Amino acid sequence: MNAAVTGGVVVLIPAYNPDVTLLTVVTELADFGFEHLIVVDDGSSPECAGVFDKLKTLQQCSILRHAKNLGKGRALKTGFNYFCLNYPDSIGIVTADADGQHLPADIVKVSTSLCEHQNKLILGARAFTKDIPFRSYMGNVITRYVFWLLIGKKFSDTQTGLRGIPLEMVKGILDLGGERYEYEVNMLIYTKIKHVPIVEEPISTVYIENNRSSHFNPLYDSMKIYFLLIRFAFSSLFASLLDFILFTILYKLTASILISFWTARFSAGTLNFFINKQIVFKNSSSAAVTLVKYITLTLTLGTVSFLLINFLAGNLGINVFIAKVTVEVVLFLVSFSAQRDFIFYEEADL
């Protein structure tokens, strides 16, 4: 195997209560010629001590430990920090799971791709069919489309743990939020914000004993994964409620759709801007620049909304309040996509 790959790429494996499969994977990677392997013991039970003791005997392997289980996201960050401190001249790092779902040959494949695309994130993409475990199939399908909604990109495997990450990106994602599986999705959102290109490398789809060893909690972890969209929904709901209350009060006082609409829209919009900037998208760009873009969006969508409400209420005779609610619901996703891709979009560091 190419020495530039095995010597220039570090492999990181977070492990929680692994069995001997982890020892087999690490040993095979050492046989492939990888010189630097990092395993993070994420608070495993004492029964697993024998596996880690054997890993210690491998010269290529470094063992990092958590006193208790802190989650996959935290284990990855622990490994990334160690990697940045000890391998500053490395091409990058490849993350893999400890349960044998990522074949050593596929880890080599992703490592090779990382060497060929040193400014890109490499995703080891599994082929999902209905033959795989139901929760894995449905989890990936749902997350794939939610992720497309969140950042405007479609990937065949958003939940893959086999990833090749260039050195500079590792430094950038160290302080991302997320202690469990949502950290890996936050990593993908980061690529959108920072313009990091992504390459998908097809890999084998391996599920052992119906994926019994997975520590992924479908309900809890999925909710954390979708939290960005939830934050935006609540922010928009709050602003919409304020907008609707102000519109109702002003319309009762003035009987003017024009005055009521724009006064309510700019009052609620100002509050919505600061909530989205600081809490939802966590944007660090100049407030003045983003505010100008936000006002442009508000004027554009506001004009569309105003014209549609006027048309529905004035031409079709629909109740003005029902017309307003209907139009705002339709424009919700348009607003989210525009704010994600236009308003709170930061330039790449890579």
Q: Could you read off the pLDDT of 219-261 as tens digits, one per residue?
A: 455 555 566 556 656 777 788 788 889 999 999 999 898 898 8
Q: Which residues contact 187 (CB under 8 A, 6 or more apart)?
A: 121, 163, 173, 176
Per residue in 125-169, pLDDT (tens digit) is: 887 655 555 555 656 666 667 667 666 667 777 778 999 999 999
pLDDT digits (tens, 9 = 90+) for 6-37: 668 999 999 999 999 999 999 999 999 999 99
Question: What is the set of domains in the chain, with CATH numbers?
Answer: 3-225 (3.90.550.10), 229-343 (no CATH)
Taking the complete model, does pTM exceed 0.75, yes or no? no
Please identify which residue in the block is written with the tokens 């424009």: 331
- What's the confidence (pLDDT) of residue 210? 47
Task: Please give the residue that has the higher pLDDT: either 172 or 240.
Answer: 172
Task: Identify whether the C-beta of residue 148 lies closer than 8 Å to the C-beta of residue 40.
Answer: no
CA–CA separation, 295 and 308 (whole Å): 19
> In one letter, which amino acid is 108?
V
Nearest to 210 by CA among 134, 156, 142, 139: 134
Rounded CA separation 270/291 (Å): 9
Edge-to-edge strand ranges of the sheet holding 198-202: 61-66, 37-42, 9-15, 92-95, 163-166, 121-125, 198-202
Among 315, 318, 321, which Cα is nearest to 264's? 321
Measure the CA–CA gap between 342 and 160, rounded to whole angstroms. Answer: 28
**Would you place residue 284 in the very low, low, confident or very high pLDDT band (cuts 50, 70, 90)?**
low
